[in-house]
Amino acid sequence: MYISIADNQFGFKKGHGLLTAVLANQWVDDTATGDIWARLLCLLGGRFDLVLQSCRSGHRLPETAMFTSALQRLGVTPQQAVWLDVDEEGVKAAEGAGMKSILVEDLADALNKLADFTGVQAVTAESLPPSCSPDDVSHGYVTIKPGVKTHYVEMGSGPPVLLCHGFPESWYSWRYQIPALAAAGFRVLALDMKGFGGSTAPPDIEEYSQEQLCQDLITFMDKMSIPQVTLVGHDWGGVLVWNMAQFHPERIRAVASLNTPLFPVNPSTPPMETLKAIPIFDYQLYFQNPGVAEAELEKNLERTFKIFFFGSGETGRPVVSTTGVRARGGLFVGLPDEIPRSNILTEASLQYYVSQYQDGGFRRPLNWYRNVEANWRWACSRPTGKLLMPALMVTAGKDIVLLPVFSKGMEDLIVNLTREHIEECGHWTQMERPAEVNSILISWLQKTHKTTSVTMAPKL
């Protein structure tokens, strides 16, 4: 299949068994002013299988040779191709070359005609935003210290934005955000957090204290030559980014969290007592004994991820309860053996999560929960001043664990706090409401990075 969509209006996602292409009459731009063409070509190159420029092919539209060259490169016949154009001359030329063609006068009408021809529906406002697969991104590794290596994926250029996932996840949980933030002009780095996926680390529990995790992240930034970064976290990643903002504010340009609020520390109450006082946190107490939760979660990885990942609006499926876990003897006790896959998870996505836990299991990820006392003592030592950098808190109305009410009072801890709320959304915010999350993050990031900071001269 051969598709060219004019005027940069991308109505179909790359993939679905289709090949997509853009043909363009363009001069070589060797001027020293601006990078508009470079950015456009980079954007097109990431969206289409072929971008054929007249200045590099030796032909120009509407010459038949331009179409022939494109078809040969794509490996398709004219009868397998359809051409879209806003120009009647181009449409006639494509038809003369044996291709079906569509004159684009009304975009919606043209996309409907294209859908009739291809059998693939056009992207609409309700469609999921483009995601990236593991093959679409650049992978890298940074050695933090002997035995500790951080895996990350990277896309885009511009101010660095570092994405930190939660439990039991992977960098892949940001698959809908990575392309969107990169296209918006940011250098996006999504980590496999310590002990998850491709990030290796020892099994020692103390390796996963918040103090150690923050220090590891600082080392990662140092070795990547990133002096200051904007952090975005979810779940445990949210805990980490708030701690980074409090203990290492000089390295944080701005900080955002999905679902996870900044919890104020109470030096007078032991942390285990705090957990016991909140019934929906009982699962965290169940996670404390090494080996117990591991055995349950590793028994059937497909079932585990089918249970964990579900959308808030789904009906007719069993939902895991985080209360009374110790009393009933396990997190999944009482649930059926066969669990339907959620509509927020494709089969390919499910298998990728499974692959990330097949070798390493859950021991290291669960160790994030096993530093309750150490994290509390460290939190009690932190500075008492308010956070001054721009901050974003996104709550989800249907999250059954990180309730929106937990974020009450954050304005007392953060001077420059922006709030957003997605009511019809559960815990897996990036996957369940990716378009809304992208819109919120991009708007806030662009506003944040347009703000001019005031540099204070040091006193001698």
DSSP 8-class letter at 200: B
* SS3 track for 80-125: HCEEEECCHHHHHHHHHCCCEEEECCCHHHHHHHHHHHHCCCCCCC
DSSP 8-class letter at 160: E
The CA distance from 320 to 370, in Å, is: 21
The number of beta carbons lying within 10 Å of the beta carbon of residue 32 is 4
Let me know: does 282 contact 326? Beta carbons within 8 Å. Answer: yes
427 is catalytic: yes
- Please pick, among 286, 352, 357, 369, the residue that the annotation labels catalytic: 369
State the number of CA atoms in the 13 A half-sphere of 228 facing the CB.
11
- Helix, strand or coil, per DSSP, at residue 460: coil
Q: Region of 402 please: left (phi>0), alpha (psi -120 to 50) or beta.
A: beta
248 is catalytic: no
235 is catalytic: yes
The structure tokens 């390295």 sit at: 251
- Please pick, among 85, 192, 216, 235, the residue that the annotation labels catalytic: 235
- The amino acid at 342: S
Distance of CA 350 to the CA centre of its chain: 16
- Helix, strand or coil, per DSSP, at residue 189: strand
For 9-67, the DSSP string reads ---S-SBTTB--EEEE-------SS--HHHHHHHHHHHH-SEEEEHHHHS--TT-HHHH
C-alpha distance across the termini of the chain, in Å: 68
Active site members: 235, 369, 427
